[in-house]
Amino acid sequence: MKKILFVCLGNICRSPAAEGIMKHKVQEQGLADSFYIDSAGLHGFHEGELPDHRMRSHTLRRGYKLTSRSRPVEYGDFRKFDLIIGMDESNINNLKRMAPNLESQQKIHRMTDFCRHHPDNHVPDPYYGGASGFEHVLDLLEDACEGLLEELK
């Protein structure tokens, strides 16, 4: 079983959307039993909260339902997960600082490294933007999740 953790700053926009999209894609392909997928944030300001209502609205229009609750990254995550995927350079740098050893650091990847159709080098935080920002993030996450799934199959 492949265990994947998606990480962003607060775990209310990008990472729960990546989690929901990836779960949907593995379910569609009949691979749900082969994956454990979760998300977390680098801080716990929103711990226990559902994803941002705007992100839930945008993902629902695309057929994804986000039901996870925000939680912070824990040191045990570096042992538990095979892949830890950050959304931007700041996430990657913070995860690498948190990683207890070199083996854990090697599990850390950038989400856009799995994109096949979008040349972006990070998934921007849509929190302070408008609807087009959420849509752009979802375009990137769908592309990256498809690429990641292809790579793992």
- Which residues have a catalytic role annotated? 8, 14, 125
- Angle between helical axes of 53-61 and 14-28 (0-180°, round to 10): 30
Torsion sign (Cα): 72, 80, 25, 6:
positive
